Structure 1
Amino acid sequence: MLMLDVLSPLLLLLLFSILLPGYGCRAADIPEDATSEFSVRLYHQLQAAGGQDNIIFSPLSVAVALGMVELGARGASLEEIRQTVGFSHLVPGVEFSLLQNLTTALTDDDAHYVIRFANSLFLQEGVTFNPEFLHLMRKYFRANVETVDFSESSAVAEQINNWVENHTESKIRALLSAEDFSSVTRLTLVNAVYFRGSWKNQFRPENTRTFSFSKDDGSEVQTLMMYQQGDFYYGEFSDGSQEAGGVYQVLEMPYEGEDMSMMIVLPRQEVPLASLEPIIKAPLLEEWANNVKRQKVEVYLPRFKVEQKIDLRNTLQELGIKNIFTSDADLSAMTDGKDLYIGKAVQKAYLEVTEEGAEGAVGSGMIALTRTLVLYPQVMADHPFFFVIRNRRTGSILFMGRVMTPEVIEPSDHDFDSM
């Protein structure tokens, strides 16, 4: 069977390793404003540290992981998580049901796309964990629970890495090493999210051409540019000043079924993405989604592949979740004692965007890549852009990131004349 992933494997892994004191990453996704605000704050933290690098991460996966930690947290550890993610105004515990309902709705959708959530707890042999905590982990997160001996660090790393590979179609390999564990490790929590979707309007591979992509540092690289003319959601927006260079474009491209989409935000050719990024706020995400209109658009989008491994411990501490990473952590809902804290928090994400889609899908008649004779609005993503993969019904953000450099090709890689 043809695997038609327009967003060829889109997936991500979130790992939290708890050492003798604690762990942290958090939940809930229903109050859209709270989740969106947390997502944007995460993005700005990564942007500040990222220089000219590509960015890819999953806000939803961070939310799921933090939710699992929150189940075991108490006192200041619990409140920091709720406050930072934006759920301190909710009745305690409501967010678990909200997150459960959200992930169930995503994974229960019929075959237009594939989203899989896989959560697992690896517990130290001989340590007694609260039965209620384990029950709630299974109830809300369908978490698999296994016991291991962390002193056998090489064997544990291999076991967890195999689990991750199996749940990400082998896109994330060798996430952990023996050095990540020691005799004081008590719990490792792993959360994997996998997404694969086919464009509703697919690109034809025969329309793909080599093209120059202008980076924000003024240099150019050669990449493979996909092209199509089709019906998409499109809008032009202004920040009301010159901070973002005036007018910028927003293009929303749905996947089959139209529940999931990729939203691309593109500044003008001469405006660096860094000028646009500061205006990105949670209300603006909603404004874009509510105001793009369906119309005929010419789309030039590079094939790209982005991968990133993120130290979430540092990022979450910057956002205000600090207690769970110290000896002051209170994860007493996991065990009877207060001797757990979070020693490691890592997220690794992978995203590949290609032409691939359902065979025989409607395509455009135009083939040549050209900037002339513009009959419809034209989105020319030949310079850095911001993107969001979201559920159009709930507003939840599965992936967020930016492309500063697409997949670079060398002249020797392809026979360009034949293309």
Structure 2
Amino acid sequence: MEKEESLILADSLGAFPRNLYHTLVKLNPDINLICSPISIQTCAGMLRMGADDGSETAKQLDEGLNFTSSDVNLLADGFYNTLNYYQQSSVLQMANKIYIMQKYQTRMEFSDVLTQKFLSNIENIDFSNSKKAANTINAWVESQTNSLIKDVVQQNVLNADTRLVLVNAIRFKGEWTIKFDESTTQNEDFFLDDKNRTIVDMMHSTNNYFYADLTNFEAKALRMAYKDSELYMLIILPNQKNGLNSLEQKLRLTPLDSITSLLKETKVSLKVPKFKAEFETELTPVFKELGISIIFSSQAEFGKMLEQNEPLSVSNILHKAFIEVNEEGTEAAAATAMVMMVRSAPAPESMPEIFHANHPFYYTIYDENHGSLFVGNLLNPAVTTCGQCCEMH
């Protein structure tokens, strides 16, 4: 049975990151993107546990999140297997939490599945004191992400009508199996497109890496491993300086393992820029693009959540992610918060292959068993960017 549960989530953890990433790129076309599909999906998975059985709400969530089963017990067990797997990890930590409006109670079945299967703590809080409530939630997220993710929830999204906030935080810090020698890092051009360039700190290494020439994608792929884990960074570099958009279109329809299965150990001359990226966004338009719209409306059916019989809907889904890549390795973190309101509220040894990542590329940090944990692109290493949410603050 455990195999079946794992497969249900594994299939989903393959398709959902592709659809999510494609939608985020479409809505945020000109900035460095970094997000954590597994953080977003875990938060939405907790939401799914509170949707009425057989409802249109449950159906839209199942389809939009790419679940291959509508059996909540199987889904919950699948999430448990994934979350429990990372409990043993020394390089990746995930944590879930639910905040409930004071004097409100979750239904026993809902609280049981969240605590036992999603390993989530439940805490009562007074959302009407929006500043204090936001500070409490943000302090918890900060504590779970080594202070990399701050202020994921702004006080203006909380008020007396808020009933629940579902939060997932994920933090990753991995050392490369093959570290870069800092003394070889030097200033080099990074080509933003055919005409424009910027100067970046470019890391160098010539070593054996898992590499593939993806002729059908007009791109190359290279995988770097992290110590003490089954986690990897995969970079897919288009052959053309302005080829990222075309590559991304093809990747949307391509399962990750169909690319990783082509990788072969090869001597490679590697160049990768040092970079940091931060991205922040409100995910309502993304969920609507993915076909999940009913959760934001008066038709939402979340009768399994609270003892109090109040009609609930989702008012905000907030996501913030950060990544830093340097000679030692990678540090990344993300957090997702879902705010629910009552409805009145809103190869052979030879010459090395060349893999010089000196123009925009796609990357993912993934686990062979659990798919993409972080997905992003690098358009300009000289800029640390964030998304549309920043404009709102």
Which category describes the TM-score, using the shorter chain as reference length? 0.7 to 0.9
The reply on whether 1:87 has 2:67 as its aligned counterpart is yes
1:185 to 162, 171, 189: 162
- 1:286 corresponds to which residue? 257
List per-residue Cα deviations over 1:44-96 (Å, max 9, x = no partner): 10111112211111111112111111111111111111122222545442111
List per-residue Cα deviations over 1:131-173 (Å, max 9, x = no partner): 2211111001111111111111111111111111111111111
Q: How many residues align?
A: 358
- 1:276 corresponds to which residue? 247
Alpha-carbon offset, residue 107 of structure 1: 2.8
The reply on whether 1:61 has 2:42 as its aligned counterpart is no
The reply on whether 1:315 has 2:286 as its aligned counterpart is yes
1:256 to 222, 227, 244: 227
RMSD between aligned residues? 2.1
Alpha-carbon offset, residue 35 of structure 1: 2.4
2:363 to 359, 379, 387: 387
The reply on whether 1:376 has 2:352 as its aligned counterpart is yes
Q: Residues 306 and 343 of structure 1: is their aligned pair in 2 closer, same or farther, counting only changes over 3 Å?
A: same
- 1:107 corresponds to which residue? 87
> Helix, strand or coil for the counterpart of 2:64?
helix
In structure 2, how many angstroms separate the alpha carbons of the residues matched to 1:197 and 1:262?
10
Q: Residues 238 and 356 of structure 1: is their aligned pair in 2 closer, same or farther, counting only changes over 3 Å?
A: same
Ranked by relative contact order (alpha carbons within 8 Å, sequence separation 6 or more), the top structure is: 1
TM-score when normalising by structure 2: 0.86
Which residues of structure 2 form unaligned runs of 5+?
331-349, 385-393
| Native 8 Å contact 1:329 1:338 kept in 2 | no
List per-residue Cα deviations over 1:170-200 (Å, max 9, x = no partner): 1111222221111111111111001111101
In structure 2, how many angstroms separate the alpha carbons of the residues matched to 1:79 and 1:101?
23
Which residues of structure 1 form unaligned runs of 5+?
1-26, 359-373, 410-419
Alpha-carbon offset, residue 217 of structure 1: 6.5
In structure 2, how many angstroms separate the alpha carbons of the residues matched to 1:28 and 1:214?
41
In structure 2, how many angstroms separate the alpha carbons of the residues matched to 1:314 and 1:338?
25
2:125 to 148, 161, 174: 148
- 1:364 corresponds to which residue? none
Alpha-carbon offset, residue 224 of structure 1: 0.3
Q: Which amino acid aligns with 1:206?
A: S
1:2-151 alignment, distance < 5 Å: 30-74=8-52, 75-89=55-69, 91-109=71-89, 111=90, 114-151=91-128
Bigger mean CA deviation after superposition, 196-205 or 274-283: 274-283
In structure 2, how many angstroms separate the alpha carbons of the residues matched to 1:79 and 1:90?
8
| Native 8 Å contact 2:282 2:319 kept in 1 | yes
- 2:137 corresponds to which residue? 160
> Helix, strand or coil for the counterpart of 1:251?
strand
TM-score when normalising by structure 1: 0.81
Alpha-carbon offset, residue 212 of structure 1: 0.8
1:344-383 alignment, distance < 5 Å: 344-356=316-328, 375-383=351-359
In structure 2, how many angstroms separate the alpha carbons of the residues matched to 1:382 and 1:321?
37
| Native 8 Å contact 2:141 2:149 kept in 1 | yes
In structure 1, how many angstroms separate the alpha carbons of the residues matched to 2:241 and 2:377?
17
> Helix, strand or coil for the counterpart of 1:39?
helix
| Native 8 Å contact 1:229 1:299 kept in 2 | yes
Using the aligned pairs only, state the percent identity: 29
> Helix, strand or coil for the counterpart of 1:278?
helix
The reply on whether 1:238 has 2:215 as its aligned counterpart is yes
- 2:302 corresponds to which residue? 331
